[in-house]
């Protein structure tokens, strides 16, 4: 979880996790891209984890 964690840590250190209500629509496009990137990263990570778990289970079953 390096990519998503790094982006979150960077937003906290830059104090970008605090959103000003008047600027929310100026940042909406960037926030949407960032959240979609995090979602895609987590979906790929989940898929790879499930794939390797099934792969290892089938490999152990053959022995």
Domain span at 35? 2-62
Could you tell me the pTM of the whole model? 0.58
Position 51 scores a pLDDT of 96
Domain total of the chain? 1
Burial of residue 9 (number of CB atoms within 10 Å: 0-12, 13-18, 19+): exposed
Spatial separation of the C-alpha atoms in residues 6 and 31, rounded to whole Å: 15
Q: How many helices (H) and strands (E) does the chain have?
A: 2, 0
Tens-place pLDDT, residues 17-63 = 666 667 767 778 888 888 899 899 999 999 999 999 999 988 877 65
Position 11 scores a pLDDT of 75
Position 32 scores a pLDDT of 85
Spatial separation of the C-alpha atoms in residues 33 and 41, rounded to whole Å: 12
Position 3 scores a pLDDT of 66
Position 29 scores a pLDDT of 85
């Amino acid at each position: 979880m390096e990519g998503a964690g790094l982006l979150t840590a960077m937003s906290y250190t830059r104090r970008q996790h605090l959103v000003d209500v008047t600027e929310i629509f100026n940042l909406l496009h960037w926030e949407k891209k960032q959240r979609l990137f995090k979602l895609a990263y987590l979906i790929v990570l989940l898929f790879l984890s499930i794939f390797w778990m099934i792969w290892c289970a089938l490999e152990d079953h053959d022995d």
